[in-house]
Amino acid sequence: MSSVKKEQVVDNYDLEPKQKFKIAGIDGTIFLAITAVLLVAVYMEILPVNFASGFIVSVVMGLLLMWVGNQIPVFSTFGGGPILCILIPALFLYWGWLPESMGALTDTFYNEIGFSDFAVTGIIVGSILSMDRKMLMKVGVRFFIPLLGAIFSGLLIGGLVGELIGFGFGQTIFYVVGPIMGGGMAAGAVPMAEIFASSSGDDAGAILAQIAPAVMVGNMICILAAGALNGLGKRKNRPKNFSGDGEILRLKEGEEKIDLKSDNSAFPFSLNSLSIGIIIATTIFVFGQIVAELIPGFHYYVWIILGAAALKIFNLLPEYIEKAAEDWYELITKAWVPAILVAISAGMIDFTSVIEIVTNPSYISLTVITVIVAVLAAGFIGLLVGFYFIESSIAAGIGMADMGGSGDVAVLSAAERMGLMPFLQISSRIGGAIMLIILSILAPFLM
């Protein structure tokens, strides 16, 4: 196995449709037979409430919904798969099409048994340690200026508009702006809900039901905004420095283009690498627990983020360990994120609350305003530090506001600028982590 290239292994978890009818790399007929067996067990309500039952139900349903969502024209470009994963289980439970026991099973599996901490920690640690340090050093502080500008502009302007229209300053920050610009669902909204719950005393599931719609609606608006920026960038009479046609940095004459790609071929994917990734991620999880116990006031996710960031910034780990953390992160994002979304939907989201939220005109208006503010702030501040407006808007603004990994792909497809992916990864990963830390500081005062 150690000699198998990573690309070959990852294909086993490929969620994209193939020429032959396959779902998650399994022949479609076999996968549907597996699904049928599980559904029979779910409706008979005979599954024991344990890790094995919760895991297989969440994984199979998640992969199926992800595949279905990615087959639907147009809808797939708006993050169809992840949206179905987060909507359908809660909706079917709301309609009574799934037994209540499934909600109890997934809730116990995700929260009480601890799959949440296991998977989310892997995502947080792997996403930070897998960043290309050389690229970060080349970009330097420059990229973080429009990124932080988008964050603080969104929080301040969004909060003030929310106060003016009666939604509330704190309510807007914690339930609209923060979730939209928090790095997605699994690594953003989920730890965010737990951080808010620890400060307010409310149930994390109830909080998640209120912030999840912002993530999904914001993602759709981001894709539309990316398409609109792409169209404006193609105009012949566009302003100077408005579009770099995919290049973010305005180079001076004779200055060399920055190569954003890193070479990881020296550390191929292997079972040993995966084991190391699990060990390093869970060790940092334990570190977060220790520091949270010694220094109360911050949720342990904050210390996990800071611990992983310190290891990366000060280059304290050898490259093979960082690569191992990346392998573990990629396995989770390929195979387990659909399961995470299904478990959240079935076990934690009350669809009645979702309906009340998304039919609130103030909520939808604030969602749109948040994305627009992030786009404009990142674009104009980017101009000041030598970036093109459109590329900076997409990389530092929309990259903060979309739904993480799947949102990044959809946004860059709409913008026709896939070369900006490394910058959107910085926005989603590091920017999302920064937002979690900011909100954890504000929560005791404003919630």
Supply the pLDDT for residue 121.
Answer: 87
In terms of domains, do 287 and 304 share one?
yes
Supply the pLDDT for residue 159.
Answer: 94
The backbone torsions φ and ψ at residue 47, rounded to the nearest 5 degrees and listed phi first, read -75, 130
Q: Domain range for residue 159?
A: 116-252+267-446
Domain count, the chain: 2
Supply the pLDDT for residue 4.
Answer: 45
The backbone torsions φ and ψ at residue 23, rounded to the nearest 5 degrees and listed phi first, read -125, 120
Contact 346, 98 (CB under 8 A): yes
For 96-146, the three-class secondary structure string (H helix, E strand, C coil) is: CCCCHHHHHHHHHHHHHCCHHHHHHHHHHHHHHHCCCHHHHHHHCHHHHHH
Q: What is the pLDDT along the chain (447 residues), one digit of tens a residue?
A: 444 444 444 444 444 444 578 898 899 999 999 999 999 999 999 999 999 999 999 999 999 998 998 888 877 766 678 878 888 998 999 999 999 999 999 989 988 888 888 888 888 888 788 877 766 666 667 888 999 999 999 999 999 999 999 888 999 999 999 999 987 777 788 888 888 888 877 888 788 888 888 888 888 888 888 888 988 888 888 888 898 888 888 876 655 555 555 555 567 778 889 999 999 999 999 999 999 899 877 778 888 888 988 898 888 999 999 999 989 988 887 788 888 888 878 887 777 777 877 788 888 899 999 999 999 999 999 999 989 999 999 999 998 988 876 678 778 878 888 778 778 878 887 888 889 889 988 888 876
In terms of domains, do 50 and 123 share one?
no
In terms of domains, do 318 and 215 share one?
yes
CA-only gyration radius of the chain, Å: 21
Residue carrying structure tokens 């970060």? 136
Could you give the angle at the alpha carbon of 281 between the alpha carbons of 444 and 402, nearest 5°?
A: 60
The residues, any chain, with a CB within 8 Å of residue 216's CB and separated by 6 or more, are 79, 83, 86, 87, 403
In terms of domains, do 164 and 223 share one?
yes
- Final residue of a domain: which of 68, 94, 113? 113
In terms of domains, do 160 and 296 share one?
yes
Supply the pLDDT for residue 15.
Answer: 45
Query: Within a domain: residue 1?
Result: no
In terms of domains, do 157 and 44 share one?
no
- Final residue of a domain: which of 113, 141, 174? 113
In terms of domains, do 61 and 152 share one?
no
